[in-house]
């Protein structure tokens, strides 16, 4: 994250003696990106974060990928995947993936195991329900509409809270996720033209101290998965400081950029990842030129696949296509897409759109995963040929 935070107890100077009440040293852990050359945080543990007593290969639920063939637009109804009890990590149903990003959906009603993903950052979007993100940095509460960014290799646990399961869209990067560089100054401050700022961002505000010995942690790494047994519970950090930590941002705090004529998707960009972007479409005043057509024009984004997750309101451009709460549309590169028949004419004169959606644009093709076949609407590709 682009600003510094200090939580709990830390010594005045880095890498100096910091002692526990019994006189022993706290164990420092520097967690940083890009080989000591980018953002980092310094954590102080009661026990050695390196102490493991067992390690064995772990086999996660299998996921297969197949190309989007024949090439065509797809409509996935994620709520059709509702099944038995699931945890928010191992219960994820993978829908779309390439070598840069994996996109999954889960209806979670129980805590996940302790988990660390050493392959990249996670960006979770909470469609409904609520959960706590417990980590070595503390506790972060998330509710419907929140994005939660969990940095690479953060040991964490996701705990659904409240009376209903949590519905989550999980965007798993093969790298780091953060605000677009054009929103930040050279020193990392949000600039005036950014649609959100530091005041909108939340992070853990107190340490989370959990006692326990010989605790299991699942780790996904570049060669597979491993189950470790740590000698002590990893949630033993008494304090930390730095720029790297889990953080949350509500889609409802995204300030839309509008204009006299239709604005292109980059004005909705919220995050960037390796070879993909995440955008937020929120309720907003729409185009106010007297001859404006508020819905998008037909477009062929020749370098990108476009995935749109519909999470509230009414998406005017897709009316009549069967799109519903929790729907995902995939419009691949190589296919021109646009509003449904009649949508452009219907939109003329509208001054406000009440829509809520999360978009992921990738710069490499997205494959279809197992769960996509289970919830696909097979008639979606032909809806543009119907009469309005």
pLDDT tens digit sequence for 95-126: 999 999 999 999 999 999 999 999 999 999 99
Residue of 156, 233, 262, 289 marked catalytic:
262
Q: Which residues are annotated as a binding site for homogentisate?
A: 315
Residues 273 and 176 sit within 8 Å (Cβ to Cβ): yes
Q: Would you state the pLDDT for residue 171? A: 98
Dihedral (CA of 244, 119, 73, 299) sign = positive
Give the span between the Cα atoms of 154 and 219, in whole angstroms: 10
Residues 51 and 231 sit within 8 Å (Cβ to Cβ): yes
pLDDT tens per residue across span 288-308: 899 988 888 888 888 999 999
Least Cα distance to 235 among 51, 46, 22 occurs for 46
Q: Which two tokens stand for residue 14?
A: 């880095």
Q: Would you state the pLDDT for residue 343? A: 86
- Give start and end residues of each alpha helix (H) in the chain: 343-347, 370-375
Burial (CB count within 10 angstroms: exposed 0-12, middle 13-18, buried 19+), residue 367: buried
Residues 259 and 146 sit within 8 Å (Cβ to Cβ): no
Give the span between the Cα atoms of 297 and 317, in whole angstroms: 9
Burial (CB count within 10 angstroms: exposed 0-12, middle 13-18, buried 19+), residue 350: middle
Could you tell me the domains of the chain?
Answer: 28-65+84-251 (2.60.120.10), 256-382 (2.60.120.10)
pLDDT tens per residue across span 239-282: 999 999 999 999 999 999 999 998 888 999 999 999 999 999 99
Q: Would you state the pLDDT for residue 387? A: 53
What's the whole-number mean pLDDT along residues 131-147? 98
262 has catalytic annotation: yes
317: confidence class by pLDDT, cuts 50, 70, 90: low
Q: Which residues are annotated as a binding site for Fe cation?
A: 299, 305, 337
pLDDT tens per residue across span 177-227: 999 999 999 999 999 999 999 999 999 999 999 999 999 999 999 999 999
Give the span between the Cα atoms of 108 and 178, in whole angstroms: 25
Q: Would you state the pLDDT for residue 158? A: 98
Name the more confident of 320 and 79: 79
Q: Would you state the pLDDT for residue 320? A: 62
């Amino acid at each position: 994250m682009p600003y510094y935070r200090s939580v709990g107890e830390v010594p005045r100077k880095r890498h100096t003696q910091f002692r526990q009440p019994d006189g022993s040293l706290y164990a420092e852990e520097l967690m940083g990106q890009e080989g000591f050359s980018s953002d980092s945080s310094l954590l102080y543990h009661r026990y050695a974060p390196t102490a493991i007593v067992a390690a064995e290969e772990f086999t996660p639920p299998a996921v297969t990928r197949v190309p989007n063939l024949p090439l065509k637009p797809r409509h996935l109804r994620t709520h059709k995947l509702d099944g038995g009890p699931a945890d928010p990590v191992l219960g994820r149903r993978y829908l779309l993936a390439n070598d840069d990003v994996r996109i999954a959906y889960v209806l979670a009603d129980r805590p996940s195991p302790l988990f660390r993903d050493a392959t990249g950052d996670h960006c979770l979007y909470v469609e409904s329900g609520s959960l706590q993100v417990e980590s070595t940095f503390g506790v972060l509460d998330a509710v419907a509409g929140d994005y939660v960014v969990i940095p690479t290799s953060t040991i964490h646990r996701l705990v659904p809270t409240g009376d209903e399961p949590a519905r989550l869209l999980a965007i798993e990067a093969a790298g780091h996720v953060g605000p677009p560089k054009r929103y930040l100054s050279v020193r990392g401050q949000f600039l005036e033209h950014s649609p959100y700022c530091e005041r909108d961002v939340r992070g853990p505000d107190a340490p989370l101290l959990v006692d326990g010995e010989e605790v299991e942690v699942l780790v996904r790494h570049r060669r597979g998965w491993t189950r470790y047994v740590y000698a002590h519970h990893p949630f033993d950090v008494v304090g930390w400081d730095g720029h790297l930590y889990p953080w949350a941002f509500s889609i409802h705090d995204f300030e839309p950029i509008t204009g006299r004529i239709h604005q292109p998707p980059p004005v909705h960009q919220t995050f960037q990842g390796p070879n993909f972007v995440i955008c937020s479409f929120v309720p907003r005043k729409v185009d106010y030129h007297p001859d404006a057509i508020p819905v998008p024009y037909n477009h062929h984004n020749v370098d990108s696949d476009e995935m749109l997750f519909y999470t509230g309101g009414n998406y005017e451009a897709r009316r009549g296509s069967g799109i519903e709460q929790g729907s995902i549309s995939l419009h691949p590169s190589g296919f021109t897409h646009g509003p449904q028949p009649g949508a452009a004419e219907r939109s003329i004169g509208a001054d406000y759109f009440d829509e809520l959606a999360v978009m992921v644009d990738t710069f490499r093709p997205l494959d279809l995963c197992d769960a996509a076949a289970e919830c696909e609407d097979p008639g979606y590709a032909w809806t543009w040929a119907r009469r309005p």
